[in-house]
Structure formats: C-alpha cells, structure tokens
Structure 1
Amino acid sequence: MAHVSFATPVGAMTVFAHEDALVALEWGSTAATEATPFLERVRDGLLRYFDGEALPLDWSLAPAGTPFQQRVWNRLRAIPFGTTVSYGALAHDVDSAPRAVASACARNPLPIVIPCHRVIAADGGLGGYSGGEGLPTKAALLSLEGITIPLSKCPAFV
C-alpha cells in the first residue's frame, strides 16, 4: 500500500492510501516508499494544519469500519476547525449513546483528518484519546486550533 512518513510537532506520522483514497493515518514512521502525488498533497495539507490552517475537505477517504462507525466518522468530519462537540451531543446527532460514539472515535483510522480530537467530555474536559501520546496529543491538537482545556478539567495532567 502506498504510504509516506513525515515528522510533525506531535511525532512522526505515516499516511496510507489505496487508489488515491486515504485509508489510514498512524503515528510512527515506516520504510520509505515512493510517495504518490495524492499522498504528497495529504502530507503537505497535514503540515499546513500543524502551521494552524484547516485541513482541505476534498480528500477522498476510504476508512474501513462498520456502518455505525462510518456514520460517526462522517459526523466528525462536519465539526469545524477550532470547535468542539461533546460525546453526548455527538451521540444525540447519530441517535446513539456516548460510549458507543467514544468507541467509534477510538477506532478512527484517520485521526486528525477525521477529527475525533474535537470531541470532548460533557464537563468540558478532554475525555479520551488513543492517538499519539493520548491526552497530551489531544490537548496539543486542540491548542493548535485555538482551543484550551483548563488543567482542572485534565486530571491526567495534574
């Protein structure tokens, strides 16, 4: 599968594509392959994201998941750069329960691109995050988008 690895402020990342559709984003790097023009556009867009720009919304995505996960991930893509939504509100939007939504977020194969980091706890705390270094990575991504979660809402950091 075509992929390209690159350094970011939250660690090395590798993006994977199949037939010009993005299928996965993983933390860490892998052996180099020849980057496709599509993967170069994705890499460049992600690097601009880390410079404070919103990601392009026109990338073709093909994440593998259940119909429920796809429904949650589609809703996540509608959360604008620099905003958050609670697990409960997202669950209401997809006619489900907050824990089921959290589970779909945890299985998101395209973190950042499908912005599960923008989903927070009902009390304004971070909630959970399985990408990168976990909650510190989620806090860094939110901060990059201008969102600050008070330390009092982040017991893992205190």
Structure 2
Amino acid sequence: MTLRIDWQNEAVGEQTRMRVAILDVELIVSLIGDIIVEASWEIPSGNNAPQTEFAKSMEAYLLNPDRHHLNVRLLRQGSAYRQKIWRALLAIPLGEVISYSALAEKMGSGPRAVAQACKNNPYAGIIPCHRVVAKSGIGGFMGQSRGDMILLKRRLLEYERRAAESAG
C-alpha cells in the first residue's frame, strides 16, 4: 500500500520513546506529541515493554508494506540537499537497492555526499537508507562500516528481497 509522510516544521512538548519490535531488533521511535523526531535501529536490550497500537501499525507496515498503509508525521530536519536525498530514498522499491554512485548520478551529486545524507538520516527505520549500497559491497549503515548495524542492513535487505519476491 503506501507510506504517507506529513512533514512538520516544528514539534513542541515533552519527548517520549516508543519501541517497535521487528526482525529480532527494535526500531526506537522518538516522538514529541505525535510527531516523530527520530527513528533508528537498536539491538534489543531485553526490555519487553508492550507495544502501543501505533507501534503495532508501524510493525505491520515495515514487515509487509505492500499490504499495509502507514501515516506518520515527521519533523522536517536537515538541509534542503539532505531532504532531497531522503525523498529519493523513499522512491526505492521494496526489495531493490541502488548504489551510492548511481543515486548520486541521478541526483546530480557525488557519492560521498549521498553517503553522508544516508548516514545522517534521522529516520533510518522509516526512510530506507539501507537500500543504498556501495558499488562493490554493502556500504555503511547508521554510521558503521562493520559490526551489528551492517549485519542488520544485510538482514533488512534479505527480508525485503524475499518479501518482494513473494508479493510479485
């Protein structure tokens, strides 16, 4: 189905956190009111707090975006350039990847600038920066070039590849 993002220019109030359990990891979503200000992956800490209804709907969308609809309000962040790259990431179909250099060429930019925009994506769990890879390898993920986050990137890409194959 679809992901609908309603970009917000400001968020006022107290910040809360919500955990979305998916693929044996957690998407930690930071909110001010109902506006998401950050969404990043974390290896579970063993905290099995119950999920809110919104967390359950995020989980359903992330696990099967072709069958679920998700509306989110995100705080507008970053430069105009980064926002342009993040919008381009949203257009990468489930189960597909693009190289940093191919995306850079499409955007009239350089691969390092694209990689930095991906690294600084505050919504890594919603805006799929994991779908951008190096020409000769997996590339980085959430500021790491090896370790747990790279293993997670591989797991996310494999899950999405299988989901896209079974949907098509």
Q: TM-score, normalised by structure 1?
A: 0.73
- Aligned to 1:137, what secondary structure does the other structure show? helix
- Aligned to 1:130, what secondary structure does the other structure show? coil
Give 1:129's aligned residue.
141
RMSD: 3.0
Give 1:150's aligned residue.
none
Give 2:71's aligned residue.
58
Q: Does 1:16 align with 2:18?
A: no
Residue number among 111, 124, 128 corresponding to 1:115 in the alignment: 128
Query: Which structure has the highest strand share of the two?
Result: 2
- Aligned to 2:25, what secondary structure does the other structure show? coil
Cα distance in 1 between the residues matched to 2:72 and 2:100: 25
- Aligned to 2:140, what secondary structure does the other structure show? coil
Give 2:97's aligned residue.
84
Conserved 8 A contact 2:35-2:72: yes
Cα distance in 1 between the residues matched to 2:117 and 2:20: 26
Task: State percent identity of aligned pairs.
Answer: 34
Instruction: Report the alpha carbon displacement of residue 113 of structure 1 after superposing the two structures with TM.
Output: 0.6
Note the alpha carbon deviations across 1:83-124, whole angstroms, 9 max, x for none.
11111111122221001100110111111310000001123x
Do the aligned partners of residues 14 and 66 (structure 1) sit closer, same or farther apart at CA in structure 2, a change above 3 Å counting? same
Cα distance in 2 between the residues matched to 1:51 and 1:115: 13
Q: Which amino acid aligns with 2:36?
A: L
Do the aligned partners of residues 64 and 21 (structure 1) sit closer, same or farther apart at CA in structure 2, a change above 3 Å counting? same
Conserved 8 A contact 2:92-2:131: yes
Q: TM-score, normalised by structure 2?
A: 0.69
Conserved 8 A contact 1:63-1:109: no
- Aligned to 1:122, what secondary structure does the other structure show? coil
- Aligned to 2:116, what secondary structure does the other structure show? helix
Note the alpha carbon deviations across 1:17-64, whole angstroms, 9 max, x for none.
234332211334799x9x8xxx742x2234225644457453222242
- How many residue pairs get aligned? The number is 141
For structure 2, the 5+ residue unaligned runs are 1-14, 163-168
